[in-house]
Each structure stands twice: as C-alpha cells, then as structure tokens.
Amino acid sequence: MMTLEKFEEASELVKKVTNPTKLVFSEYLSTQTGAKVYLKPENMQHTGAYKIRGAYYKISTLTEEERNRGLITASAGNHAQGVAFAAREFGCKATIVMPTVTPLIKVNRTKSYGAEVVLHGDVYDDAYQYACKLAEENGYTFVHPFNDLDVATGQGSIAMEIVQELPTVDYILVPIGGGGLITGVSTLAKMLNPKIKVIGVEPAGAASMTAALKAGEVVELDSANTIADGTAVKEVGDQNLPYVQENVDDILLVEDDELIGAFLDMVENHKMIVENSGLLSVAALKQLDCKGKKVVCVLSGGNMDVITMSSIVQHGLIQRDRIFSVSVLLPDKPGELARVAETIANVQGNIIKLEHNQFVSTNRNAAVELRITMEAFGTDHKKKILEALDENGFRPKTISAKLY
C-alpha cells in the first residue's frame, strides 16, 4: 500500500540527494493558454531527471544483505543514472542494462557514477528481460524503474513539493512511461487535495497506459516508436495500473512533431534543455482547456545528447517556417543569381545555402535550377519572400529543406 506516512518519509529522505527544483512561472506558456503555467524543472536534478527520487528511496528500504548482493536494473537512461547515483551513496555495486539506442550522454553519465553498463536490445522491454536474466544468474537485487510501489512513492515526493509551494494548484501534468511517476504524483496529490486534477501525458507512438486503461488490464504494445525515448515503454507496470485508474483524471496523447515545437519553446523562452519525454507535459497544454487555472507541468528530465538537440532544432525551425527551401529555374546567363539574391534581400530574407544545377535541362540557355535555403521570421515572412520571388518572375517552387 502507498500511505501518506511513506510519502512523508520519502519526501524528507530524498532531500539528501536532490536539488531543490522550485516552480518556474512561464509567462510565455501562460499567455499561450490563458492559464497560470508553472514548470517543475526536474531536468535540473544532479542526474538530469526525477528518477533519483524513486531509486534512492527504494534502495533505502532494502536490507543490508539485499544491497550487498549488488543491484541491477534496466533503464532507457534516467532511472539508470538514479540507481547508479543512489548505489554510490549507499556504497553498493550497480549493474545497469540499457537499450543499445540510449543517447550517449545517458550511458556516459551512468558510468560516471560507478555503475557497470550493459547495452542490450532496441527498447526498454528488451533490456528489462536481459536484466532479469542477469539478476537470476548472479543473485542481484532488482530495482525496477517503475513497477514498484516504493519507487513510485519516491517519485511522489514531487507532488509534495508542488503542493507545498503552490497549495492552490488546479492541474498537474505528468509524463507517462511505465507509470511510476504518474502513480506516485497522482496518489499523493489526491491524498493532499482531492480537487487537484492530475493529467497524464503519453507519446502517441507508445501509448501503453492508454491501452491498459482501455483494456482494464496491462497489455503489451506491438511497438513503442517515439522520439520520447525515456517513455518508449511497450507495457506499463501492473502494480501502477490500479492507482492510475483511481487517481488520474485523464490521459492525453502527444505526437512527436509537437515535442519538436515544445523543445524550441523551452530553449528560446526559458533557456532550458528538456528531453523529449520531459516535454510531454508542455506539449499537451494545447489540448487542455485550463483558462484561469493554475497548472504545473512536470519536466521529468533533461538528458539529451548534442546530436539529438541539433536534429530537433533543425526540424523545429523547418516546422515553423523559419528555415525553408525553394527551387527556381533561371536562364544560364550572368546576373541572374545576383537578381535572385537581391530580391530575397529586399524582403529581409537571409540565404544560408545555394545549390546551382546546370544540368536540369538539355537547353542551359532556357533554364538552370537554383535551390535556395533561407531563414525567415516565420510563416508570414516566408509568404512575403515567396510573393516577392513570384512578382519578379522566378516562379518559386517550395521543396524539402535540408541544412546539410
């Protein structure tokens, strides 16, 4: 059972290893929604995610003998770091099995805390099965990332902090992977104030909790395909499901494209790096009618490697028409390229790449192709640039934009 006494114990205990993550008021998101939106920045924890809470509390409940056998877990990255960090604090050995596609930053940081990392499988579920096998063979103590009520109790300390800081909170939005975070947060939130609405958010490509609620039992998805790698779980925890059924008011689904836009918003307006899974709560705001309400979005983690960031930023700029490409056909004669550049410059467009193809036609005097990639301020500015090119006889054709 999850009790208020255990939540209170966990909330005090995790203070030993967590950074204070005070709520951040978001003027930008508040303006967008008509609500008062606050961010709970768990991406600012030592390990870059909230998972240290559940891992540390769980390990604190183990016997000395259980710790001495060595700990093992499976994780897409954030729980891995939580267990590795907590194991170091308790002075015990930890082995972490991670999917082979885990971002490099998560792998390296897990190793930096002294844990042994084993890469296995394409998704969390593959890593989990292998970790269970190793636990059985070596007698390790398994620390489950989400299907454990002690772990969920530790995660619930987030709700304690939110309610203490903002007692009149109306909505708490929480990302869902395996269900440990939403179980702890929703259960404690309802204990403290039954009027608080707790909304879970899943990636549309890995909606395992939605499937479980619909079926009335835990079911395994055929795949978990999403850029939100930390929540790419095919099957939620059976210990979590009853608590979610009782305490979660709704679950929203978010497409990957919406996470890309949310990443840009967070970087540009809050100067924060939040991983795709952690952005689920922010991206879901567009689906929620919360005008006049006080809303807290839990940013569950910020562990993202630079290559992924670069890709997300590029796709986000293209998605918002701040970078776009056009193809125009020109006579192959001096001055035409300068005329195109001048037309774009006159409407404040900024060319960042040109590709000149003389072989698009057998008659080069009739036409050569010029592919232009440029920056704009957004959709309206893009339209203005296209209109200027059209008015000057260039007949621009929009094509797929690529920066590389």
- Residues with catalytic annotation? 51, 300
For 133, the 3-state DSSP assignment is helix
* Distant-in-sequence, close-in-space partners of 202: CB < 8 Å, separation ≥ 6: 175, 176, 208, 209, 210, 231, 251, 252, 253, 254, 280
For 234, the 3-state DSSP assignment is coil
Strands 323-330 and 94-98, sheet pairing:
unpaired
Phi, then psi, of 51 in degrees rounded to 5: -60, -25
d(CA 57, CA 79): 13
d(CA 271, CA 56): 29
Residue type at 385 in one-letter notation: I
* Distant-in-sequence, close-in-space partners of 295: CB < 8 Å, separation ≥ 6: 33, 35, 36, 37, 38, 169, 170, 171, 172, 173, 285, 288
Q: State how far the alpha carbon of 337 is from the alpha carbons of 333, 350, 353, 378, 383, in Å.
A: 9, 14, 13, 24, 21
- Residue where the block lists tokens 């304690």: 160
- Burial group, residue 309, by CB count within 10 angstroms (0-12, 13-18, 19+): middle
Six token digits for residue 156: 């619930």
Residue 58 burial (CB count, 10 A): 26
Which helix (DSSP H) or strand (DSSP E) does residue 198 occupy?
Answer: strand 197-203
Phi-psi region at 131: left, alpha or beta (left = phi > 0; alpha = psi -120 to 50): alpha
Six token digits for residue 309: 């960031």
Contact 343, 403 (CB under 8 A): no
Residue 242 burial (CB count, 10 A): 10
